[in-house]
Chains A and B, each alone.
Chain A
Amino acid sequence: MLIFEHSRPGREATAQSPATMADLSDLPANQLRSEKPGLPEVSELQAVRHYTRLSQKNFSIDTNFYPLGSCTMKYNPRGCNTYAMLPGLLARHPYAPESASQGYMACLYELQEMLKDVTGMKSVSLTPAAGAQGEFAGVAMIRAYHDARNDTARTEILVPDAAHGTNPATANMCGYEVREIPTNKEGDVDIEALKAAVGPQTAGIMLTNPSTLGVFERKIEEIAKTVHQAGGLLYYDGANLNAILGKVRPGDMGFDVIHMNLHKTFSTPHGGGGPGAGPVGVSERLAPFLPVPMVGENNGHYFWITEKDKPQSIGRMSAFMGNAGVLLRAYIYARMLGREGMQRVAEYATLNANYLLARLREAGFDLAFPKRRATHEFIVTLKKQKKELDVTAMDFAKRLLDYGYHAPTTYFPLLVPECLLIEPTESEAKEDLDGFVEAMVKIHEEAKDNAELLKEAPHTQPVRRLDDVRAARELDLAWTGS
C-alpha cells in the first residue's frame, strides 16, 4: 500500500507546521499556485507506521550478512551517526563565519591529514560528493594539468576492461576518448597491450588496485612507469581501498591522483544508495588543481581555501562543502580505529575473504582466478553449474535471499561468466562466514535435486522476481491515483 492510499482529505499532523496560513496577497496573483500540492494527508502515526513497515522490507547490514562485492558493506558504527548528528553540528549553516566554525573545521582538517597519510598523497580535498564525483574531479584535474602545460594533444584515457562503468563514463564527461586495455588470464593488466596503447595521445590511465577481479595488480610499478614515460598520469579508483588500507599506499605505487569512497572504506552508511563521499588526493604536481573548498590551518586557526587561493582549481563540485555530515562520520570512524586499527582493516578483510574462498573451494565451487590470493574479495564462477545444472548466478543470488543472505555482486565484472563477486569485510564473525558457506552448499545440492527451487527463488521475500521488462516498457514512475 502506498502512503497516498492512507490519505483522507482534511487529515493532518498539525503539531508539525505553523497553525495558520500567512497572507500572500502582496505577491502577484499570476505567480501563485492555484491547486494543492497533492501530497498525502495522513496522521503522524500513520506516516511513522508506514515507513517503519517499509524499512522492514529491506535487507541491510544491521539485519543481514551483505557480501556485496566491490561495495564494502561493513558495520557502520552507530556512534559515528550519533556524534555526527549532535544538534550543534546539524544546525550549523554552511555560510556560518569561520569564527563560529572552528570545531567543525578542525574535524575536516584532521580528516584531510589522516587521508593524506593512508594514501601517500600530498594534498587532499574532501568536497566530491560520491565516488563518481571524485572520479570526475580526478580526471578533470588530469585534463587541467595537461591543459596548463599546453599539452593539448592528449585526448585518450586508458581503462582496463574490468573497470567499473563509472570509469569510462567519467572519462567521457571530461571530454576524453576511452581506450580499453585487456586483462590477461591471471587477472593482471596485459602489459604488452598497454605498451602498444600508450603514446602522445595518452592523457592517463584509470586503475583500480586491487582490481575489480579481486586480485592485486602485481605489475603496478611497471604500469606506472609505462604510462608516466608516455607523459600520461595515473588515476587510482579507490573502490577497493579497504583491501590495502594501512598496508600499501597508492602514492607509493606511483599514482598521481586517487579518490576514496568513504562510504566503503571509512564505513559511512550506504543509505539505500547514498549519500557517499569521494574525497580526492593528489601528488605535488596536481595539487594546484584540487577542487574547492578545502580547509587550511595556521597556528591553530582553521580557514577555508577557496578559488581565490587556488586560481588553477578545477572549481566547485557542489554548492557548499559536499556531503559534510558523511565526512564527520568518516572522521569519527577514523579516530576510533586509530593508527593500528586502520591497518587491521585490510588484514582482517583479507583474512575473511581468503577464508571464505578456501571454504567455498573446498565445497566444490570454482574460482575465477584459482592461482591467486584473494584480496578483500574474490570471484566464484558458476559456469560449470550453468552448463551442467542449467542454473545461473542470478538463481543462486535469489536463493541466497531465502537463506537470509544478501546476494554477492552478480554479473560484474563482465569478463567472468556467471560470476559472484564476494566481499565479506572485516566486521563479520567466523560463524557468519561459515553460515554463508553452508547456505551455498545447500543451494548447490538443491540445484542438483530440485532446480526449480532456485529458478523460482526468492520464496520468502515481500515479492517474487519482478517483471523488469514490463517496468521498462510500460513506464509507471509516479502514482496517478488520488
Chain B
Amino acid sequence: MPFIPHTEGEVAAMLDAIGVDTIENLFDEIPQSLRIGKLNAVPEAMSEMEIGRLMMQRAEQDGHPLNFIGAGAYEHHIPAAVWEITTRGEFYSAYTPYQAEASQGTLQVIYEYQTMMTRLMAMDVSNASLYDGASGLAEAVLMAVRANRKSKSKKILVPRALHPNYRKTTYSIVHNQGIELIEVPYDAAGGHTPVEALKEYEGQDITAVVIAQPNFFGVLEDVDDLTNWAQNNGALTIAVVNPLVMSVLKPPGQWGDNGVDIACGEGQPLGVPLSSGGPYYGFMCAKQAHVRQMPGRIVGRTVDRDGRIGYTLTLQAREQHIRRTKATSNICTNQGLAVTASTIFMSIVGGAGLQRMASQSHANTVSLINQLSGEHVKPRFSRPCFHEAVLTLDASLDAVMQDLASQNLLPGFALQDDYPELENSLLVCATETKTGQDLARYAELLGQAIATHASSGVLSQSHGA
C-alpha cells in the first residue's frame, strides 16, 4: 500500500485494541446515504518508476526554449547548493515553527532573511513572506488603509505602468472592502509615470500611492519625486520593486526625503526557479512605525530561561489564530521554503555578486535592444530601462512570435492584450544568463521573421488598396 506501513497482523491488533471488527466500522457515525463508492476520474495507482517516466516525458515535451521573457519572473543563475540544502527533509518537511524550541533552524533562517531584506531595501522591518509579489501588493494596500489613520477615502493611486496582473490581483483581493484603485497613466513617450500625472489629485484625500521600480516596461521611475509628492499630500507610499535590482538602484528606504512606508515585491529573482510561476514569495518591508499593521508572520530574537539567544514568532496578536475577525490578514501558511532558498542564495551570492548579476542583466538587455533595433523594430520608450525594455515591430507580432517559438526561442511578452495602445509591442528581457551567442541568435531569427512578416504586411496592404 503506497505510504502506508501497516501489516495485516498489525491492523488486526489495532482493531482489537479499538474494539471494532473492521476499519469500515470506524466510519459508522457518517450517514450511510453520504458514502460514496468508486472514484471514476482517479486512475489506477502508478509506481514511482512509472510516474517518474511520465513526468520526464512531459517535461521533455515542453522542450528547453531559449527564453527572453521577463514580465515579473526572471531567469537568474541559482547556485546548486541553494536547493540541495533547501530540500533537506529538516527544512522541507517541517511545519510552521509554533514549537519554537524544536524549530530554531527555520526561525533563525527567517530572522536572517528579515535582516537581509531590511538591508537590501534600507527599511526597518520585514515580515516572513506573503504568497507572491501580486498578492503581497494587495496586502500592502490593505495595510496602508489601516496605517494611514488620517485618511478616510480608501483611495489608492496605482500606475498603469505596474504589472497588469498585480493590478488585477490587488483588485480581486481588496475591492470587497470598499477600496478604490485609481489608475495613473504613463508618459507615452518616456514610458515612466510622470509626477505631473498625480497633480490632479493634489489636495484630495489619497490613502496611498503605489510606485513600481523598475516599472512593468523596465523603465526607471522618478522615485524621489513620486515619493515626495505622496508624502506632501498625506498619502503613504508603497514601493513595488525587484529585489535583485535594488542591489544597484537606490533602495526604497532612501526614496525622496523620508523613504517609503512599505516596500514589497516578488522575491523570485533571489534564488527561486521560474517553475511556471510558483512557488515564489512576496516580500514586505516597512517603517518601524507600521510594524503592528503588518500582515503575516514575523520572527523576533529573544532569550531563553538560561539567557541564551533564541528565535520565536512574535507580534502574534496581529494574526488570525489570535485575533480572528480583527486580524491584519487571514494569511496563515506563507512561502517558508522559498524564503529559505532566498536566504541561502543571498548568503552564497553575496552583495557584490548580486550587483554583478544585476549590472550584467542590464548590460545584456541594452546590448540586445541595440542588436534587435532597426528599420522595422524600434524601442518604444525614450527613458532609461533596467533589464527589460519594450520594442515595437512594424509586423504582425503574433506571426513573428510563432515563428520564433517554432525555432525554440521565446522572444518576450506581448503587451497588446493588457495595453491595447501598445500594438505589436514586445517586452523583452536578457538576464546575466544569456551569452553573446544567445543575443546574436535572437537578432538573427528576429531579422528573418521580420523579413517574412513585414513584407507580407506590406503586400497585404497593397492588395487591400
Contacts and interface: CB of A to CB of B under 8 A. Distances in A.
Contacts of B324: 165, 168-169, 178
Which 8 residue pairs of A and B lie closest in terms of their CB atoms, listed nearest first? A320-B277, A338-B45, A62-B89, A271-B337, A103-B58, A94-B277, A315-B172, A17-B353
A269 B95 CA distance: 8
A100 B432 CA distance: 23
Contact of B65 (A68, A96, A129, A166): A96
B333 A275 contact: yes
A319 B133 contact: yes
Nearest to B54: A335
B5 A429 contact: yes
Interface string A97-123: 101111110110000011011101000
B319 interface: yes
Given A92-B62, A169-B325, A16 B77 contact: yes
Interface in B167-195: 168-169, 171-173, 176-178
Interface in B152-180: 163, 165-166, 168-169, 171-173, 176-178
Contacts of B351: 36-39, 41
Interface string B272-303: 01111111110000000001000001111111
Interface stretch (A69-77, A384-392, A441-449): A69-77
10 contacts: A26-B384, A37-B119, A79-B51, A92-B275, A165-B323, A215-B29, A320-B73, A320-B280, A348-B23, A479-B111
A19 B95 CA distance: 39
B103 A58 contact: yes
A19 B2 CA distance: 48
Given A36-B351, A140-B176, A246 B39 contact: yes
Contacts of A170: 330
Contacts of B340: 51, 271-272
Given A58-B104, A136-B173, A273-B334, 7 more contacts: A37-B351, A113-B41, A173-B173, A335-B46, A350-B23, A397-B99, A477-B298
Given A37-B355, A93-B75, A325-B276, A270 B34 contact: no
B336 A273 contact: yes
Contact of A33 (B91, B92, B249): B249
Given A31-B249, A334-B42, A472 B101 contact: no
Contact of A339 (B45, B142, B173, B312): B45
B274 A477 contact: no
Interface in B120-173: 120, 124-126, 128-129, 131-135, 142, 163, 165-166, 168-169, 171-173
Contacts of B20: 354
Interface in B68-116: 69, 71-73, 75, 77, 79, 81, 83, 85, 87-106, 108-109, 111-112, 114-116
Given A4-B112, A58-B106, A342-B42, A13 B79 contact: yes
A228 B194 CA distance: 52
B44 A32 contact: no
A100 B407 CA distance: 11
A355 interface: yes
Given A96-B69, A332-B51, A129 B135 contact: yes
Contacts of B57: 103
Nearest to A34: B250
Contacts of A27: 220, 249, 362, 384, 386
Given A169-B325, A216-B29, A476 B301 contact: yes
Counting chain A CB atoms within 10 Å of each CB, the highest count among B312, B348, B351 belongs to: B348
A57 B91 CA distance: 10
A343 B169 contact: no
Given A20-B356, A37-B119, A430-B13, A57 B105 contact: yes
B1 A221 contact: no
Contacts of A246: 36, 39
Contacts of B73: 93-95, 319-320
A42 B344 CA distance: 11
B92 A3 contact: no
B117 to A, nearest CB: 8
A358 B26 CA distance: 12
Contacts of B42: 114, 117-118, 334, 338-339, 342
Residue with the greatest number of chain A CB neighbours at <10 A, chosen from B30, B61, B87, B314: B30
